[in-house]
Amino acid sequence: MTSNPLLDATGVAKNYGAVAALRNASLSVLPGEVHALMGANGAGKSTLVKILTGAIPANAGRILIRGEARDIRSPAAARRAGLLPVYQEPSLIPDLDVLSNLRLTSTPVEPFRAWVRELGIPDLDIRDTARDIPLAVLRVLDLARALAVEPDVLLLDEMTAALPANLAEKVLEVVRRQGDSGRAVIFISHRFVEISALCDRATVLRDGETVGVVDIVPGVEEKIVELMLGTRIVKTHVAARSAAQKAVPAPARPRLSVHNLRVGTKLNDVSFDLADGEVAGVVALEGQGQDELFAALAGSIRPSGGTIEVDGQPAKFSHPIDAIRAGLAYVPGDRAEALAMQRSVRENIALPFSAALRNWGPIAMRQERAKVVSAIERLQIDTRAQGEVQRLSGGNQQKVTIARWVAADTRTLLCFDPTRGIDVGTKQEIYKLLREVAGHGKSVLFYTSELEEVQRVCDRVIVIFGGRVVDIFPVEEADEPALMRAAYGLPRGAKADIGILADPHCSSPESASSSASTSPGATP
Amino acid sequence: AGKYTIGISNTVQGNGWREEMVCAMKAQALASGEVAKLNIAHRNTDAAGQLEDIRNLISAKVDAIVVNPADPAGIKAGLEEATKAGIVVVAVDQAVTEPSAYIISNNQEQYAYLGAKWLFGQMGGKGEVFYMRGAAGASADSDRDKGFKKALAEFPDVKVAQEVFTGWQQDQAKQQILSFLSTGTPINGIWTSGIDNVIVDALVESQAPLVPIVGADNAGFVGQLSSVKGLVGAAVTNPGSIGGAGVTLALQILDGKKPAQQTVLVEPQLWENATDEGKAKLKAAADPSLSPEWPVSISIPDWTTYTKDQIVACKGPGE
Amino acid sequence: MSTTAIQPVPFGRRVKRFMADRPLIPLIILLIILVVILQILRPGIVNERWIANTIKFAIPLAILAGCQTMTMLTGGIDLSIGTVATMSAFIMATQVVNQDPAVAFLLAMMPAVLIGLVNGIGVGVFRVHPLIMTLGTSLIGTGCLQVYQRTVIASGARIPDFLAWLGTGLTYGVPNALLLFVPLAALIVFTLSRTGFGRLLYAVGDNERATRLSGVQYWQVITALYVISSVLAGITGLLYIGLIKAPSLSLAEPLVLPSVAAAVIGGTSIFGGRGGYTGTIIGALILTVLTTLLTILQMPEGARRILFGLIVLFVTAAYLRIVEER
Amino acid sequence: MSHFLRRQGWVAGLFVLFVVLFIITRLIQPAYGSGDFGSLVRAVLPYAFAVAAQTVVVIAGGIDLSVAAMMALTSVTAASMMSGASEEYALFVVPFVLAMGFVLGAINGMLIVITRVPDIVVTLATLFVLQGAALLVLDAPGGAAADWLKALISGTVPIPGLPDGIDAWLPKALLLLIVCLCIIWIPLRRSRLGLSIYAIGSSELAAFRSGVPVARTRIIAYALSGLFAAFGGLALTMSTGIGAPIPGPYLLASVAAVVLGGVALGGGKGGLLGPIVAVFVLRLVRTDLTLLAIDPNLTAIIEGAIMVAVVMFGAFITMRSRQS
Ligand SMILES: Nc1ncnc2c1ncn2[C@@H]1O[C@H](COP(=O)(O)OP(=O)(O)OP(=O)(O)O)[C@@H](O)[C@H]1O
Ligand SMILES: Nc1ncnc2c1ncn2[C@@H]1O[C@H](COP(=O)(O)OP(=O)(O)OP(=O)(O)O)[C@@H](O)[C@H]1O
Ligand SMILES: O[C@@H]1[C@@H](O)[C@H](O)OC[C@H]1O
Ligand SMILES: [Mg+2]
Ligand SMILES: [Mg+2]
């Protein structure tokens, strides 16, 4: 690959007031290349994508497209220059139907439809309003819309983060073929598996600066992590929990006990127990009813059948306050859902203290402060920008959502994918915290979309498929292939090839592309 | 019971004069014995709103419409449609331009001329006057403006310090005078278009000098002219009971007795408190039993037949 | 992340950042500038009496703007306060003729509580847009008031002495209305910054879903809020009738839009989650002084309104520039 | 079909409501006829344009508090220009006033875009400015309207071949309303620009990222609002024959009818038909109350109650459907 770069950006800088989101970023992408853009949270990846595609202006920097200097001032200009992004957040207009969305962007309909089918969604009605379409599908539509105009450079910002494995797999196949056909793809992901399966090279950002460009070869992960984290702790493996830690004496009755729980058509008949001092994992593909399960336990929606027992007492929740009173607190994966972004760290942590009507009066400021400070310390939240939570980094924001319930001394945490889009270092801290909470006799229900987390954190894992519990594993057996199979509803012990994610170790580009060729779907 | 349905349209609500007018209409309709039902559209609105009200009254097939117009030109089309539909149209208090309509009203130009002339005389023929007009666009207001300007022309040394439209609303007038006083601009006299007692209150409360004031024969102001120390002023009559006269006129026409002229004017009088003769008149006219914003002339000889109790009770046929 | 602390920050930037961190300062400066202009235009006008008068007129506006501030913090708005204030004023003035003042007071506050309750339930339970909800109740309220007015025409109206004393009176040159306002303002400021309820107002306006997950019951907060707003408006009505002394059907209506303007000028975000009452009070003072200024200019009414509009726009835009630049 | 029903269900419901009210009207006043319907349409006219003006900006995710003031200004401008002028001069006045509305509306939009002050505050400020300008043009109601303009909304449209009985139910005012709204709205809805207006109302960020020129679209939305408001101002002058500088009740009415018409206040949803039908419903309610000789102030109560009840009902329905 010695051809001229398709896209060549150097010295890109972007300041938000006093904060430098990008200081000196560079990125060079060759034709036919799938190029990973990597970096810890807040390193500036999304910012760079936004600058390259005209969504925000840069403060400095030079961008060459096919060797020509281009000034891209708007997404429309980027599109004309052949740069098409799929941003971290869905970009379809919520109140327009899919067809109107296509018209708005002058996207040809037939190629779009072909790509949608290719990406594994056979039955899309393009008269459906975007608002009514599930998030994962929306992401795919976003991608299909970009693909339909045959961009020279496709920029995918954490495209696979919110996708279930089956859709993610299709996306990866399609992306790889883009590269094969001489176009370029800039691919952002925190998942090394995907990077190594897909990418040719990676540019690593740290604190807004490009700190290295590496070829993806087996074993390069260590090097990338080193670049990403700089002097920070390099890849701390959570030590396998000792037998002593695991030996939770089985209590007389479970902390939480769910029987035959049903929610609409999404969740049918789920039963399991959660004990004090236990972290129970929940694993499921996208849309298998896990959202509804957590929402029901959190009191956000009312189950249509079955029972929830807390400490042996039947419980009925009609509002999160009821669940909270029963000692169940919900930590959503999307921190924007949990935080009042313009308020301070302190107010966010103390929010549950004021919730009940009887606590609407004057606040005992000193007491509150003590509780908040101790929670901040336990979670090691970086409070340099504590005046407004929106100024915290993503990982620290995530910690605040948990700190709130640590400060409230909640007995049971319902964590829904709390490490979504968080860097390696912060993840480790969150794992540690959850174990610690369990160590204090509290219990945690932990849904994760990253299967490798299960063995790091959980004591047990509950697998849900099609709205039912299909298996409950002891953690020792819960390696990724086993979990993956179970998540697809396959019986334990069966061996079937379910795609490249099944075995990350043999996913070199060659073997991956061969598996792609066996998959159904025609190239548009 | 009577045989006619009469529609009423009025566009200033919450003004004592207009309330008396409506009560007079009701009382007269009741006293006449000829009216089965009144259909009263009484609210705060403008010409466009009144047009809608009049058209709705036409749809309601009333026999006559007695209207106090918001704007003569603005409702002309509606009045014309009413006449075409065979409805008798009587305008009270103010003139209209629709030729088919009958008018019964105080002589508004004369009303303003009388008061202004007296006021400028009191001011010694010179100085600054605060000119507090009525509702912009109403013909009573523009007619009064003519009278005011006529008097002004006779006193070349009198200047208008500021001109405001009170909309014939007490609270607005009060806020206007208060904010004017707060600017500290000196004045020598105040002419009001009948929103008077609140102006006296404002001067007293803000301890501003009591300059001569002209108002109407509203009960409150008439009382103030005799009771407030140092207040020099005059009340010009403008009977709200003209509404009752309007009903009488409409009934006469419905009964086939058309008046000789389309327009009937009532001539105003001036009662001042600068002379003993005037003071006596004021004393005789005063009626503390009335609401301060009601004109003391609660009836018009030859035109109204109700009793004081009837107008105060403010009940129409069927109520 | 890094700060640009290496090279010396230019003076202009420093001033800007200083003001951005203390958003009250530019407001106070603006107020002072307006007063100075006034004094230059009409030397000697700025005296004790003028100040007392200005404060007297700013207070009703400031309280209503307080209603606006609190509702705006939750991302709402209360357009029914004008009607509510007018109703309580009108009912007080007409009922006190035949009733004991205490009874009249209770009667006068009844519609306030009722409208607040309906607003709160509409917004909090049925999730009706606050603009629509409060417009609707204000239409209903105005209609009721007008119908009510028809029934009390004969009985007349009276302004209770106490209200007149509170509204217009001065004690040693200080407006008596401050007796009501100072504690009220202190209470609002305290509520917003130091009580659970105040915290919830900000939080709900910032991210309602997040408060729900923290156990906050939205409808409770919103209902309480709109009732409080309405009661404050009712009290303002009583104070205002003591000041104007002429009950009418639209008494406080002209204060509604300026109350929104005062809160916005004072730095409260109309989208919720940001702002405070101190700024609002200064906003109300600014608007009041501005009105006097425009009256003095002796220009036609039309020109005054044009200037008023332009200044409101300019002040808000400039203020946003200053505060957002950080 | 189901798409159509889901989207137009609200409008269809409103239309049924209107028909029911109409039948009630005939029951109250059996002689209610085509002439009375003509009166209704003439009363509707300024409200309809006001609500059209509001609808465009609400769909674009904004709000325009200056609608009524804009109507007042355009109305007094038209009336004072036509006062004492020849009939033909009005041929120039009409496009002039419409252009004025368009430009002033565009200025509203530009101020919002440039100052980044929330639209509700900007249009509040321009409300005062436009009101002031109207007072400078005419300090009291006055002016005149050309006779041919007034004739445009009185009487019916004689359509050859149609029996008089039906013809009588086609007031000119209705035709004028339909023509003026349709020549702007229908091409707009079908165009990219129309889509863009819905898009910025639905999600500004997503629209921007889809390549929609957000600022320009917003300015155009406000310009169209100004244009519709100018139509409203002209309608006022045409029906009263004068111009009045103090704005009428059209701001509140426009917001109420927008909401009743099924246009979400957040933007991105709804159409023009719903709000227009809503205006007809509200005006007919007032007529019915007058026919019943009910105090017109009760109308305010009923209008408010309808507004609140309908909106609560709508909110209730969406809550229910979200739960299931
Ligand atoms: N609108 C903004 N205002 C202020 N700071 C911002 C803004 N957007 C981004 N930042 C800051 O810029 C830095 C880079 O953010 P960016 O979103 O590009 O990170 P990222 O590498 O995409 O991270 P992630 O993996 O979490 O998506 C962060 O410190 C962030 O807080
Ligand atoms: N807009 C901002 N204003 C002020 N401070 C900010 C802003 N954005 C980020 N910071 C501060 O800069 C620091 C670094 O932020 P950044 O987003 O780069 O974190 P990070 O190292 O990526 O952490 P994480 O992995 O948790 O996202 C944080 O302490 C944060 O509080
Ligand atoms: O004097 C005024 C009267 O003539 C007018 O028409 O209505 C209000 C009165 O105050
Ligand atoms: Mg970050
Ligand atoms: Mg990112």
List, for residues D60-89, the tens digit of each pLDDT value.
999 999 999 999 999 999 999 999 999 999
* Stretch among A194-203, B40-49, C33-42, C155-164 having the lowest mean pLDDT: C155-164
Predicted confidence at residue D91, as pLDDT, reads 95
Please name the residues in contact with D12: beta carbons below 8 A apart, sequence gap of 6 or more: D5
- Any alpha helices (H) in chain B, and if so which ranges? 16-32, 47-59, 76-84, 108-122, 139-154, 170-182, 197-205, 219-227, 242-254, 276-285, 308-313
Determine the Cα–Cα distance for residues D53 and A481; give it in Å rounded to an integer. 60
Q: For residue B263, give the nearest of B109, B127, B123 by alpha carbon.
A: B109
Predicted confidence at residue D164, as pLDDT, reads 80
Q: Which atom of ligand 2 is nearest to the CA of A385?
A: 31
Cβ atoms < 10 Å from Cβ of D285: 18
Tokens of A126: 């393009």
Kindly give the distance from the C-alpha atom of residue A190 to the centroid of ligand 5, in angstroms, as a whole number: 10
Using a pLDDT cut of 90, give the percent of chain C over it. 56
- Cross-chain CB nearest to C203 (options A340, A357, A362): A340
Measured between CB atoms, does A75 come within 8 Å of chain D?
yes
C20: amino acid identity, one letter: A
pLDDT tier at C326, thresholds 50, 70, 90: very low
**In contact, A348 and A339? CB cutoff 8 Å:** yes
The closest residue, in CA terms, to atom 14 on ligand 2 is C1
Asked whether residue C16 is assigned to any structural domain, the reply reads no
Interval A73-94: pLDDT, tens: 889 899 989 999 998 878 899 9
Determine the Cα–Cα distance for residues B31 and A403; give it in Å rounded to an integer. 81
Q: Is B4 in the pocket of ligand 3 (CB under 6 A)?
A: no
Task: Note whether C292 contacts B183, CB cutoff 8 Å.
Answer: yes
Q: Is B17 in the pocket of ligand 3 (CB under 6 A)?
A: yes
Please name the residues in contact with A479: beta carbons below 8 A apart, sequence gap of 6 or more: A455
Predicted confidence at residue C5, as pLDDT, reads 42
Tokens of C77: 């708005």
Which range marks the domain in which residue C270 is found?
47-323
Predicted confidence at residue A160, as pLDDT, reads 84
A363: amino acid identity, one letter: I
A26: amino acid identity, one letter: S
pLDDT tier at B1, thresholds 50, 70, 90: low
Q: Is A395 in the pocket of ligand 2 (CB under 6 A)?
A: yes
- How many CB pairs below 8 A link A and D? 65
Asked whether residue C317 is assigned to any structural domain, the reply reads yes
pLDDT tier at A234, thresholds 50, 70, 90: very low
Residues of D in contact with B137 (CB under 8 A): 140-142, 242, 244
CA–chain centroid gap for A492, Å, is 27
Please name the residues in contact with A153: beta carbons below 8 A apart, sequence gap of 6 or more: A6, A7, A29, A82, A83, A84, A183, A184, A185, A186
Task: Note whether A351 contacts C207, CB cutoff 8 Å.
Answer: no
* A243, pLDDT greater than 70: no
Tokens of D161: 């071949």
Determine the Cα–Cα distance for residues A10 and D5; give it in Å rounded to an integer. 54
Q: Is A390 in the pocket of ligand 2 (CB under 6 A)?
A: no
Task: Note whether C244 contacts B175, CB cutoff 8 Å.
Answer: yes
Determine the Cα–Cα distance for residues C93 and C161; give it in Å rounded to an integer. 11
* C40, pLDDT greater than 80: yes
The closest residue, in CA terms, to atom 7 on ligand 1 is A16
- Closest-CA residue of D relative to B52 is D43
* A178, pLDDT greater than 60: yes
R_g over Cα of chain D: 20
- Cross-chain CB nearest to B205 (options C45, C168, C296): C168
Place of tokens 């001489």: A182
* A481, pLDDT greater than 80: no
Report the neighbours of D using a cutoff of 3 or more CB pairs below 8 angstroms. A, B, C
**In contact, B65 and B39? CB cutoff 8 Å:** no
pTM: predicted TM-score of the whole model, two decimal places: 0.83
Measured between CB atoms, does D39 come within 8 Å of chain B?
yes
* Stretch among A266-270, B113-117, B243-247 having the lowest mean pLDDT: A266-270
Asked whether residue C215 is assigned to any structural domain, the reply reads yes
Query: B290 versus D310: which is more confidently predicted?
Result: B290
Interval B179-225: pLDDT, tens: 888 777 889 999 999 999 999 999 998 888 999 999 999 999 999 99
Kindly give the distance from the C-alpha atom of residue A336 to the centroid of ligand 4, in angstroms, as a whole number: 13
Q: What is the mean pLDDT of residues D99-128?
A: 93
Q: Is B18 in the pocket of ligand 3 (CB under 6 A)?
A: yes
Asked whether residue C21 is assigned to any structural domain, the reply reads no
A168-199 as b/e: b if 16+ CB within 10 A: bbbbbbbbbbbbeeebbbbbbbbbbbbbbbbb
Determine the Cα–Cα distance for residues A405 and A339; give it in Å rounded to an integer. 13
* Stretch among A238-247, C230-239, D27-36 having the lowest mean pLDDT: A238-247
* Stretch among A470-474, A512-516, B74-78, C309-313 having the lowest mean pLDDT: A512-516
Asked whether residue C35 is assigned to any structural domain, the reply reads no
Kindly give the distance from the C-alpha atom of residue A390 to the centroid of ligand 1, in angstroms, as a whole number: 10
Asked whether residue C7 is assigned to any structural domain, the reply reads no
Q: Domain tally for chain C?
A: 1
* B25, pLDDT greater than 90: yes
C262: domain CATH number is 1.10.3470
* A394, pLDDT greater than 90: no
D 206-235 → A contacts, CB under 8 A: 206-213
Q: What is the mean pLDDT of residues A232-245?
A: 42
- Cross-chain CB nearest to D132 (options C126, C129, C309): C309
Measured between CB atoms, does D123 come within 8 Å of chain B?
no
Q: What is the mean pLDDT of residues C188-208?
A: 96
CA separation (Å) from B179 to B183, C17, C55, D90? 7, 38, 13, 41
Cβ atoms < 10 Å from Cβ of C161: 11
* A238, pLDDT greater than 70: no
Predicted confidence at residue A164, as pLDDT, reads 78
**In contact, B22 and B10? CB cutoff 8 Å:** yes
Tokens of A8: 């060549």
pLDDT tier at A386, thresholds 50, 70, 90: confident
Burial of A35 (0-12, 13-18, 19+ CB in 10 A): buried
R_g over Cα of chain B: 19
* C216, pLDDT greater than 90: yes
Which stretch of DSSP H or E encloses residue A213? strand A209-215
Determine the Cα–Cα distance for residues D242 and D144; give it in Å rounded to an integer. 5
Predicted confidence at residue D6, as pLDDT, reads 63
Query: D212 versus A425: which is more confidently predicted?
Result: D212
Say whether B190 sits in a helix, a strand or coil: strand
* B68, pLDDT greater than 60: yes
Please name the residues in contact with B71: beta carbons below 8 A apart, sequence gap of 6 or more: B46, B47, B50, B137, B138, B139, D141, D240, D242, D244
Predicted confidence at residue B256, as pLDDT, reads 93
Determine the Cα–Cα distance for residues B144 and D9; give it in Å rounded to an integer. 55
Report the neighbours of B using a cutoff of 3 or more CB pairs below 8 angstroms. C, D
Q: Going edge to edge, which strands form the sheet with A209-215?
A: A68-69, A60-65, A7-16, A19-29, A209-215, A201-206, A34-39, A184-188, A153-157, A83-86
- Any alpha helices (H) in chain D, and if so which ranges? 2-28, 34-59, 67-82, 89-115, 119-137, 147-152, 164-167, 172-190, 192-202, 204-209, 214-240, 250-260, 273-291, 296-323
Determine the Cα–Cα distance for residues D101 and B50; give it in Å rounded to an integer. 26
Predicted confidence at residue D323, as pLDDT, reads 56
CA distance D59 to chain C (A): 15
Predicted confidence at residue A250, as pLDDT, reads 55
pLDDT tier at D262, thresholds 50, 70, 90: confident
CA distance C92 to chain B (A): 15
Determine the Cα–Cα distance for residues A81 and A6; give it in Å rounded to an integer. 11
Task: Note whether C212 contacts A320, CB cutoff 8 Å.
Answer: yes
Q: What is the mean pLDDT of residues D281-308?
A: 85
- Closest-CA residue of A relative to C203 is A340
Q: What is the DSSP string of C198-262?
A: HHHHHHHHH-HHHHHHTT--HHHHHHHHHHHHHHHHHHHHHHHHHHH----TTTTGGGHHHHHHH
Extract the runs of DSSP E, i.e. beta strands, from A312-358.
Answer: 313-315, 328-331
Place of tokens 């099609």: A466
Asked whether residue C39 is assigned to any structural domain, the reply reads no
Determine the Cα–Cα distance for residues D306 and D312; give it in Å rounded to an integer. 10
DSSP code of residue A494: -
Task: Note whether B314 contacts C154, CB cutoff 8 Å.
Answer: yes
Determine the Cα–Cα distance for residues B290 and C153; give it in Å rounded to an integer. 11
Interval D302-323: pLDDT, tens: 878 887 887 777 777 766 666 5
* A472, pLDDT greater than 60: yes
Place of tokens 């899309």: A124
Burial of A402 (0-12, 13-18, 19+ CB in 10 A): buried
Query: C301 versus A9: which is more confidently predicted?
Result: A9
- Cross-chain CB nearest to A351 (options C197, C203, C217): C203
Q: What is the mean pLDDT of residues B108-112?
A: 97
* C169, pLDDT greater than 90: no
Q: Domains, chain A, ranges and CATH?
A: 92-149 (no CATH), 254-478 (3.40.50.300)
Interval C76-118: pLDDT, tens: 999 999 999 999 999 999 999 989 999 999 999 999 999 999 9
C168: amino acid identity, one letter: T
* Stretch among A85-89, A153-157, B117-121 having the lowest mean pLDDT: A85-89
Asked whether residue C37 is assigned to any structural domain, the reply reads no
Q: What is the mean pLDDT of residues B112-117?
A: 97
- Cross-chain CB nearest to D248 (options B48, B73, B81): B48
* C185, pLDDT greater than 80: yes
Predicted confidence at residue B119, as pLDDT, reads 97
Is A touching B (3+ C-beta pairs, cut-off 8 A)? Answer: no
**In contact, A345 and A429? CB cutoff 8 Å:** no
Predicted confidence at residue D165, as pLDDT, reads 80
Measured between CB atoms, does A24 come within 8 Å of chain D?
no
pLDDT tier at C274, thresholds 50, 70, 90: confident
Task: Note whether A90 contacts D206, CB cutoff 8 Å.
Answer: yes
Tokens of A80: 């004309």
Mean pLDDT of chain C: 89
**In contact, D30 and D23? CB cutoff 8 Å:** no
